[in-house]
Amino acid sequence: MPKRKPATTSGAPSKVEPSADKSAFLHGRPISLRVLGDYLDLSPATISLVLNNAPGVRSIPQETRERVLAAAQKFDYRPSFYARSLRRKQSFSVGVLVPELSDGYSVLVMDGIEEVLMEEGYFYLAASHPRLLMDRSVEGFIAIDTALQHSLPIPVVAVAGHRQVEGVTNIALDHRRAAELAMRHLYQLGHRHIAFMRGQTFSSDSDDRWKCFMAVARELGIEVPPELVVRLELNISSPELGYPVARHLLTQKRPFTALVSFNDIAAIGAIRAFRDQNLRVPEDVSVVGFDDIQGAAYHNPSLTTIRQPLRSMGTTAARLLLQRLRNPKDDPGHIAIVPELIIRESTMPPNPKRVPRHG
């Protein structure tokens, strides 16, 4: 039996499709590269190049590549993950550090990460601590809103990363710009008595966002008394997050006409707390959220918020990590993300009845 020749760029590829008899003999047999090679009259090496989208695949004629992909789909052939791992001595898996999987913020970032990793043939494991994943031989980490304290022995890309840690590439929103957008929007509406909701201590965004908002408040001449500052404490991802702290604000007896929330989930909880005290949003209190999660536009009232392109941040993080795995020296260090103000129904000019006469 003559040996098959691998496909090359020279000469015109055959346009003859495999016969019905060949197709019939393949059914019921375990599908391997060698069996697909027999079916297509191609070498297993050629088929492997195409299915793994390997660097040398461009040397294979496009029509041949299409034949291989069509046959793989027809017979539901999938390359062996374990065989590829052993051959290349790679696990083809990465770890994703995330404090809360059901959080609207994290879900959108994870969507972007998953899209890229699936396209590139990588698997991911999610956990809240790196030690849980190091034993699984992951090749790198993507940290979502996780305050990293020290470097790790493998490449790391941090979404919402602010600390300069060796070996960590940070992807972070421009919080200074975000603060300017939110504060100037309220200021232009006429708000001067604004309450603030700080993030939890474990959130990597909390301190930087707070510092930026306070800096912009000073520039605008807006006083921020301690009575109008509350801090989120619960580690949950439901509107209950913002409900108790908003109720606490109302007990301070210090009038305010607007609230800047740490995130959209907490903002929705705050709106419920205000309504339970017979305050209307935005007629009595304007509310600004942060993130622009999927439900923000559908809440009643729809939420004015600062949009983070969360899904895009996830795809950027995954691509950067894979880039660093292929070339460890290729580390951009810091990627700044531009925020956007989304004006909806939860903000309007202040109600004169709630504006303090003094202070």
Q: What is the pLDDT of residue 27?
A: 57
- Count of other CB atoms within 10 angstroms of residue 20: 8
329-to-95, 154, 174, 265, 350 alpha-carbon distances in Å: 20, 12, 25, 39, 53
Mean pLDDT of 216-231: 97
Most confident of 135-139, 149-153, 271-275: 271-275
What is the enclosing helix (H) or strand (E) of 177? Answer: helix 175-189
Burial of 347: CB neighbours in 10 Å, binned 0-12, 13-18, 19+: buried
- Count of other CB atoms within 10 angstroms of residue 305: 28
Q: Where are the domains of the chain?
A: 20-79, 88-173+310-336, 175-303+344-354
Name 249's Cβ contacts closer than 8 Å, sequence gap at least 6: 195, 228, 230, 256, 259
Q: What is the pLDDT of residue 343?
A: 98
Q: Has residue 271 got a pLDDT over 90? A: yes
244-to-161, 237, 273 alpha-carbon distances in Å: 28, 14, 8
For residue 12, name the pLDDT band (cuts at 50, 70, 90).
very low
Q: How many angstroms separate the CA atoms of 356 and 285, rounded?
A: 13
Q: Has residue 212 got a pLDDT over 90? A: yes
CATH 1.10.3470 fits 20-79, yes or no: no
Q: What is the pLDDT of residue 11?
A: 42
Record the tokens describing residue 328, joined without a space: 């460890």
CATH 3.40.50.2300 fits 88-173+310-336, yes or no: yes
Q: What is the pLDDT of residue 18?
A: 56
Which fold would CATH assign to domain 175-303+344-354?
A: Rossmann fold (3.40.50)
Q: What is the pLDDT of residue 30?
A: 62
105-134, pLDDT tens digit by residue?
Answer: 888 999 999 999 888 878 888 887 777 777
Q: What is the pLDDT of residue 264?
A: 96
52-110, pLDDT tens digit by residue?
Answer: 776 667 788 999 989 988 888 888 776 655 455 445 556 678 999 988 766 688 889 99
Q: Looking at the chain, how many residues does it have?
A: 359
Structural contact between residues 160 and 173, judged by C-beta atoms closer than 8 angstroms: yes
Percent of the chain surpassing pLDDT 70: 84
Mean pLDDT of 311-337: 90
175-303+344-354 matches 88-173+310-336 in CATH topology: yes
Mean pLDDT of 231-255: 93
Q: What is the pLDDT of residue 23?
A: 56
What is the enclosing helix (H) or strand (E) of 315? Answer: helix 310-326
